[in-house]
Amino acid sequence: MNVAHRRALWAQRRSDEWLVYVLKLRDGCWYVGETPDLPERLRKHCTGHPRGAAWTRLHRPVELVYVARCRNRADAMRVERQFTMALVAGAGADRVRGSSWTRVDEHACAHPEEFLLVREATT
């Protein structure tokens, strides 16, 4: 990795706006992620790119369901975990991937309507 590439990655990490997104997958599974560059991240998920999530290579995306805008990466990681927990509570742990959170704690689940949700079409 060259210096310019490292600087570009650092700039992304320090970005003022991060997005949390929810993907509905082909076989009824779900994926929750966070990124400063949603078009690029979706491209990686939809093309099966090695830098996309392994879960979306196994269960291909069919629809971008929600996008939540966050002030920074820390907020995005918190919201990603909350969305993941809410989906796990509804769909089951075997059908959802996102965040690094793996156990279900009903008291930590957030209601998705608490966040700014933007419905977008997939490309």
Of 25, 24, 29, nearest to 94 by C-alpha is 29
Residue 110 confidence (pLDDT) above 50: no
At residue 37 the predicted structure's pLDDT band, cuts being 50, 70 and 90, is very high
**Amino acid (1-letter code) at residue 34:** E
pLDDT for residue 49: 86
pLDDT for residue 13: 55
Residues 80 and 18 sit within 8 Å (Cβ to Cβ)? no
Q: Which domains does the chain have, with CATH numbers?
A: 16-114 (3.40.1440)
At residue 3 the predicted structure's pLDDT band, cuts being 50, 70 and 90, is low
At residue 39 the predicted structure's pLDDT band, cuts being 50, 70 and 90, is very high
Summarize the confidence of residues 93-115 as an average pLDDT: 54
Residue 73 confidence (pLDDT) above 60: yes
Report CA 123 to chain centroid distance, whole Å: 17
pLDDT for residue 48: 85
More confident site: 110 or 79: 79
Report CA 73 to chain centroid distance, whole Å: 12
Distance CA 86, CA 116 (A): 16
Asked which of 6-10, 15-19, 41-45 is least confident by mean pLDDT, the reply is 6-10
Of 108, 54, 116, nearest to 81 by C-alpha is 108
Residues 35 and 15 sit within 8 Å (Cβ to Cβ)? no
Residues 80 and 108 sit within 8 Å (Cβ to Cβ)? no
